[in-house]
């Protein structure tokens, strides 16, 4: 709780916290038992951009320390490019698959921006 910055909320009910505070609590809860894999649906969805970056950096740090894997769904392209691999889905099908180390963060982000509304090379 201390590490993720939520110790002050330990005695509060969810209705007494903001969406961002609830999101941080959910991240902490997912890490408490040191799982081998975490499935996260929009883990930073209720956070502002600065808090999102801080939460992802902390999450990545803890995941590395605990040898944990993260499978994440996000619409935030900036957050997506913090991953090792990005798989873009369109209508439930794999549209594109990028390895960040091979292409680089900025190139992948550009591809996601330009190809988000295409299937293959055709517009959606």
Average of per-residue pLDDT across 111-118: 64
| Higher-scoring residue by pLDDT: 47, 13 | 13
pLDDT digits (tens, 9 = 90+) for 23-36: 878 888 888 888 99
Residue 51 has pLDDT above 90, yes or no: no
Shared-domain flag, residues 64 and 93: no
R_g over Cα of the chain = 16
Q: Match 């873009």 to its residue by tokens.
A: 88
pTM here is 0.72
Same domain as 108, residue 61: no
Domain shared by 54 and 6, yes or no: yes
The boundaries of the domain holding residue 104 are 84-124
Cβ neighbourhood burial of 40 (10 Å; 0-12, 13-18, 19+): middle
26 and 66, same domain (yes or no): yes
Does residue 81 sit in helix, strand or coil?
coil
- In terms of DSSP bridges, do strands 85-90 and 93-99 run parallel, antiparallel, or are they unpaired? antiparallel
Q: Residue 88 in contact with residue 119, Cβ under 8 Å?
A: no
């Amino acid at each position: 709780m201390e590490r993720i910055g939520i110790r002050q909320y330990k005695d509060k009910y969810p209705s007494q916290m903001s969406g961002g505070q609830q999101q941080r609590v959910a991240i902490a809860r997912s890490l408490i038992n040191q799982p081998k894999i975490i499935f996260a649906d929009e883990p930073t969805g209720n956070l502002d951009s600065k808090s999102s970056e801080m939460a992802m950096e902390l999450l990545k740090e803890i995941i590395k320390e605990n040898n944990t894997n993260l499978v994440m769904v996000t619409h935030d392209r900036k957050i997506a490019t913090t991953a090792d691999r990005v798989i873009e889905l369109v209508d439930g099908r794999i549209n594109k698959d990028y390895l960040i180390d091979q292409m680089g963060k900025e190139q992948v982000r550009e591809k996601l921006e330009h190809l988000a509304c295409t299937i293959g090379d055709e517009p959606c």
